[in-house]
Amino acid sequence: MYDPSTMAQAARLLRTAREVVVFTGAGVSAESGIPTFRDDQGFWREFPPEQFASWRGLVQTALWRPRRLAEFVYAVVGPIAAAQPNAAHRAIAAMEQDVAVTVVTQNIDGLHQQAGSTIVREIHGSLFEVVSQQGKFLHLLSRRELLHMAKKLNRAREAWFPLAHTLATVRPLLGVGRRGIHRPKIVLFGDAMAEPAWSLAQEECRQCDLMIQVGCSGVVWPAAGLPLEAQAQGAKLITIDPHEGGGDVWLPGPAGVILPALVESAFGRRMEG
Ligand code: NAD
């Protein structure tokens, strides 16, 4: 865990900042029950990326191992559908009362908006946004609809024909309709970044004078380049992660503990658990 002088140093950076970018990865949502990808209990251990992180890999899995695909879809949709913002999301939203904040997130779970953050750039897209094959916006799904889908997907894993059951269940999110193929706006390996979020995020990272990086392993590119771009333009960098950190200040520990403590230390704003 962090020591008090490190927290005081981070709080001073936050209190004196003009424009803050909070850059988040899977770790910020870990305490909401959504597994990260690379930790010991991480997602990629069970579902290797070479098989599950590209549309091509997913189609092959559908053809050859349909039950495995049903398990994978349930493992992605289930925890995100059931998740609620945690103390870290709420602390990030509360920062807006004292300083200009833009959230740049790699997550697709919609939890920053639900916690009340007003400017959120979802650079890897959103599981709730449905687009056409060409990427044109079609409609948004609610968390309630996704939760309903997750419950049915749970049963699809045990069905006689798991692929047919899974495809029928996910049709509001992924399938073929009157207007052709529709799919969630999520960025898989080999896809372009989600626009306009990515271009806006790059600009905002160049403009900010403080970046707070939360729960990012820093190995997913090009997202991992954003802190470097911010630093190259003179921004300070705070990292919050229990396992690894860098920048000007590293606050080791879980985001749901560290972020409320940082907001309280910087602005005297006490956060409820
Ligand atoms: P990652 O899984 O590669 O790394 C997660 C990082 O979070 C690690 O550095 C880990 O030490 C840290 N961490 C774990 N628990 C934490 C906690 N309680 N508080 C703070 N930090 C914690 O995740 P990544 O770097 O974000 O990259 C994986 C990609 O997968 C992302 O691009 C993202 O799009 C996607 N993803 C999204 C979600 C989601 O939407 N919630 C979940 C998993 C993965």
Question: How would residue 179 be classed by pLDDT, with cut points 50, 70 and 90?
Answer: confident
- Ligand 1 atom nearest to 80, measured from its CA: 41
What are phi and psi for residue 97, nearest 5 degrees? -75, -15
Check residue 273 and give its pLDDT: 61
Contact criterion met (CB below 8 Å) for 152 and 169: yes
How confident is the prediction for the chain on average, in pLDDT? 92
Residue 46 pLDDT more than 80? yes
Return the residue whose CA atom lies nearest to atom 42 of ligand 1.
26
The answer for residues whose C-beta is within 8 angstroms of residue 88's C-beta and 6 or more apart is 28, 31, 214, 254, 255, 256, 258, 259, 260
Domain boundaries, the chain: 1-32+85-124+192-266, 35-82+130-186
| pTM for this entry | 0.94
Indicate if 124 belongs to the active site. Answer: yes
Q: CB of 34 closer than 6 A to ligand 1?
A: yes
Q: CB of 105 closer than 6 A to ligand 1?
A: no
The reply to whether CATH 3.40.50.2300 applies to domain 1-32+85-124+192-266 is no
Mean pLDDT of 23-32: 97
Give 29-45 pLDDT, tens digit per residue: 999 999 998 776 667 88
DSSP secondary-structure letter at 95?
A: H
CA 35 to ligand 1 centroid distance, Å: 8
